[in-house]
Amino acid sequence: MTRQRKMTDSNIPYEENVISKEKLKKETINKLTSYHSWRNNKNHKITTIYYSFSQSYSLWETDIKTQQGAPIFSFNHQQINQAKAAMQSYADVANIRFIQASGSNSANLLFLNYEKEVDNASGYAYYPNSGGFSPIWVNYARQDAPTPTITNYGGHIIIHEVGHALGLAHTHTPHGYTQQVSVMSYLPMKYSSSDDHHCYPSTPQMLDISTMQYLYGANLRTRTGATIYGFNSNSEREYFSAYNNHDELIFCVWDAGGIDTFDFSGYQQNQKINLNELSFSDIGGLKGNVSIAADVIIENAIGGSGNDDIRGNSVDNKLTGRLGADQLWGGGGNNTFVYISDSDSLTTAADIIHDFKVNNDKIDLSSLLSEDCDIQLVDKFTFGKINDQVEIMQIFDEDIDITYLLIDLNNNLHENDMMIKLTGKHQLTLNNFIVSPILAA
């Protein structure tokens, strides 16, 4: 059962890493599950769950009327679409599949509306049970219930109640978790500084994913290719896709493999992008709204036009800050810092790479250079003397422990077209630069 709560009461602070992996896997999951599931085997077979939007259960209709004191009626078209999206989001993370029942008598889940203004509840659902039937009821009188979307309260009611019907328990009491880590919580997460701006998670969150995988096993078939999340998304999921600067993304990523990318290039706000598992990112003007589930590796990140903070993980990362004065941390692995335009790191708004490793890392300038250009490391620029020569000058400032890379792309009258800062003293060689698209591929 879920009840409507006002988002304005939340003063819960954003934490970069809310819960440790050890606690998540060894302690929390056992506390957050209801210990009920539809799984009837202990092997790796997929659990099949049948659902229906029919209201032809006469026996249950009587029972529902008795409990709620209100007549029941079918989901509308928008509710049906949102229910299917919610089920898909659970099937993506766990080893389950949903099939629409051909006849109502074969369904495990039945979606129904009831309407009761005086009822404080927004919905009800049964846990999985030996009877094989768990109706899900939504109070049509509640906020946004007739018009659910992936981020409003109507959509939250559905994904919350589906969670109960799959075996997920509440997470707000006694554990105190917020909706930032679980759709099963009543405690709101304030993703925005505006008191009248209320958003809800579009997908199962970090704790929900781990608990679902504890109950049913992980879905290791989900997005095993090169998946892009955010702008230019190929995820085939609306809740992972952004199309303009005003789109609000609130999701936790489960991804089973491939070389994957967080692309938040269309946002103008300052962002914090963290590629580590169990971490949170501030995306598109919201706070702590994008997270990464346990055991998930996202390799690449693309920032927007603000001053972004981008942090890689322990694998080989490709980090693209784009416009603005960005702060970049590659982390472990052999990392590549990518520049698409000369305006990506200007003298007046230069990027800072904080942990550049000369023996491992590279700076990719291939998008800026012609195929027949010559690149040279120089002690002094030679303006206008050599055609098609790109020159890079390195200067170390001992007082602030910064190495400056001054890049002249066209030998014009300007001293340099780009500037990139590296913390610490470095002496780069040509091997640290990617100048050909073939080498960058």
pLDDT confidence band for 5 (50 / 70 / 90): very low
As a whole number of Å, the CA-based R_g of the chain is 26
Q: Which residue has the higher pLDDT, 243 or 24?
A: 243
pLDDT confidence band for 33 (50 / 70 / 90): confident
Torsion angle, CA of 98/213/34/178, rounded to 10 degrees?
A: -100
- Of 22, 161, 371, 391, which is the active-site residue? 161
Give dist(CA 206, CA 18) in Å, integer.
Answer: 10
The yes-or-no verdict on residue 184 having pLDDT over 70 is: yes
Give dist(CA 39, CA 229) in Å, integer.
Answer: 30
Mean pLDDT of 112-136: 87
User: Annotated catalytic, 248?
Assistant: no
pLDDT digits (tens, 9 = 90+) for 118-129: 777 899 899 998
Q: According to CATH, where is 2.150.10 located in the chain?
A: 219-440
Q: Which residue has the higher pLDDT, 162 or 26?
A: 162
Identify which of 5, 110, 93 has the alpha carbon closest to the alpha carbon of residue 57: 110
Q: According to CATH, where is 3.40.390.10 located in the chain?
A: 2-198+207-214
pLDDT at residue number 217: 93
Mean pLDDT of 69-73: 78
Calculate the alpha carbon distances from 11 to 17, 186, 187, 249 in Å.
Answer: 17, 14, 10, 21
pTM: 0.90
306, amino acid identity: G
Give the CATH superfamily of 2-198+207-214.
Collagenase (Catalytic Domain) (3.40.390.10)
pLDDT at residue number 20: 78
The yes-or-no verdict on residue 68 having pLDDT over 80 is: no
pLDDT at residue number 199: 85
pLDDT digits (tens, 9 = 90+) for 195-230: 445 789 999 999 999 999 999 999 999 999 999 999
How many C-beta atoms lie closer than 10 Å to residue 242's C-beta?
21
pLDDT at residue number 246: 93
pLDDT digits (tens, 9 = 90+) for 343-394: 999 999 999 999 999 999 999 999 998 877 888 999 988 876 666 788 999 9
Cβ–Cβ < 8 Å for 89, 203: yes
Tell me the CATH number for domain 219-440. 2.150.10
